[in-house]
Amino acid sequence: MFENLSTKLQDVFKNLKGKGALTEKDVKEAMREVRVALLEADVNFTIVKDFVKQVTEKATGEDLFKGLNPAQHVIKIVNEQLTEMLGVTDAKLTFSSKPPTVYMLVGLQGAGKTTTAGKLTAQLRKQNKSTLLVACDIYRPAAIKQLEVVGKQYNIPVFKKENAKPAEIAKEALDLAKQEKNDVVIIDTAGRLHIDEELMEELNEVKRGISPQEIILVVDGMIGQEAVTIAKTFDETLGLDGIIMTKLDGDARGGALLSIRAVTGKPIKYLGMGEKLEDLQPFYPDRMANRILGMGDVLSLIEKAQEVVDEEQAKELEKKMRNQEFSLEDFLSQMQQIKKMGPIKNLLGMIPGIQSAGIDLDNDINENAMVHIEAIIYSMTPKERRDPSILNGSRKKRIAAGSGRNIQEVNKLLKQFEEMKKMMKLMTSNKKKMSLFGR
């Protein structure tokens, strides 16, 4: 979502790299470009004005930080200001001292509350929390059924009641959760196409009946600055404890994300980055600031890898690499683990310097390439996967036909695989040499 903004900011910093010293004129010219880039990303005008003013004052009011060139000096200040704008500290969910903890999800219709309720359940399951989902959206057709589908997928109970008001449903669900000793209750409330008094009064009735630990606004990141207005209105009426911004994997320019914390003062807790239940990411202000500035997000990449990588498989793979026994079967297994981490484009976006390396994440990365490679490998026999050297012309022809690809693609995959094996051999060889010298 911040790719265009990141590119423009990096262009600004490139222009400062050639400067031997940083003048006030240099800073002001750079900040004019930063201002334009932020406004084009749909950041709130007042926030942009304050941001540029603070960065300018800091960049011109201090000597260069020791060891930093002019560009690095400005990047450091911009990074600090972005982090401050986004919230400085990580805003985690809080838990009641006396279970169950109740989270009440609110927002307009179409923001993704029901799906987010399921995604939140998946996050809490990682913390060994037992959850009860509560269907309080009694107006939208199929809303209750949708929540039941989500609950069934993760084997989470869903409480519903016909011919009852939302406040009554929420209260009975809370009583049940106490009996069943559930750790968490997530209330999926109704939305409207726009904010109205009837909606707010209904939500206040639910709030008064259950006294939630947190009221969390689920807001659509695709609607731009309107998301900020919605957040302010919900906060003034209900008193929000946090925000989950959804649909940030689409065409959202990111301006609402940068504005909403600064305008409302309410922390962003999670980001919805896709349709799958696991596509709800905890929000880290410092990591997001790094990504916006093209500095990557290695910590999130590592955390994603730790979630999907099997430790025993990793040890076995290392042994095979050491003994140069790495096969196409192992290669396929690794690809499948990478796929569990999410779209390749998103993963590459977390690598520092990927955009400055000239890689266009939208046009240069072909998500289908992995599917094609899988099809080719699946079209081989187990013996061929273990020993690709036996692949002659007729075998390759059969594999190409079976995978729906052409022989050139089969040859290209085999060549890339051999290059990878050579690289692994070199790496393991160097590691052995280093150990011989006691390093």
Output the pLDDT for position 306: 56
Give every CB contact of residue 70 below 8 A, 6+ residues apart in sequence: 16, 17, 19, 20, 21, 22, 26, 64
Residue 117 tokens, joined: 């309720």
Reading the block at residue 303, the tokens are 């955390």
- The pLDDT of residue 438 is 47
Residues in the chain: 439
Per cent of the chain over pLDDT 90 is 32
In degrees, rounded to 5, the angle at the alpha carbon of residue 284 between the alpha carbons of residues 279 and 286 is: 140
pLDDT digit string, tens, across residues 138-183: 888 788 999 999 888 878 999 999 889 999 999 999 999 999 999 9
Tell me the backbone φ, ψ of residue 283, rounded to 5 degrees: -100, 125
Q: Which helix (H) or strand (E) holds 269?
A: strand 268-272
Q: Report which residue type is found at 114.
A: T
Buried b or exposed e, range 142-154, using 16+ CB within 10 angstroms: ebbebbbebbeee
Burial of 157 (0-12, 13-18, 19+ CB in 10 A): middle
Looking at the domain that runs over 301-436, which CATH code has it been given? 1.10.260.30
Average pLDDT for consecutive 10-residue bins of the chain (439 residues)? 77 76 82 89 88 87 60 82 82 91 93 90 89 92 88 89 92 95 94 85 93 94 85 92 85 76 89 80 83 61 57 66 74 74 61 50 62 90 90 93 92 85 63 45
Tell me, what's the pLDDT at 329? 82
> What's the CATH fold of domain 3-86?
Four Helix Bundle (Hemerythrin (Met), subunit A) (1.20.120)
- 3-class SS letters over 213-246: CEEEEEEEHHHCCHHHHHHHHHHHHHCCCEEEEE
Instruction: Return the CATH fold of 101-283.
Output: Rossmann fold (3.40.50)
Q: What three-state secondary structure class fits 95?
A: coil
Segment 365-412, tens digit of pLDDT:
566 777 888 899 999 999 999 888 899 999 999 999 999 999 999 998
pLDDT at 207 (0 to 100): 95
The structural domains of the chain, with segments of one domain joined by +, span 3-86, 101-283, 301-436
* Contact present, 410 and 434 (Cβ < 8 Å): no
Q: What local confidence, expressed as pLDDT, does residue 357 receive?
A: 46
Inter-helix orientation angle 255-264/45-61, to 10°: 80
Equal CATH topology for 3-86 and 301-436: no
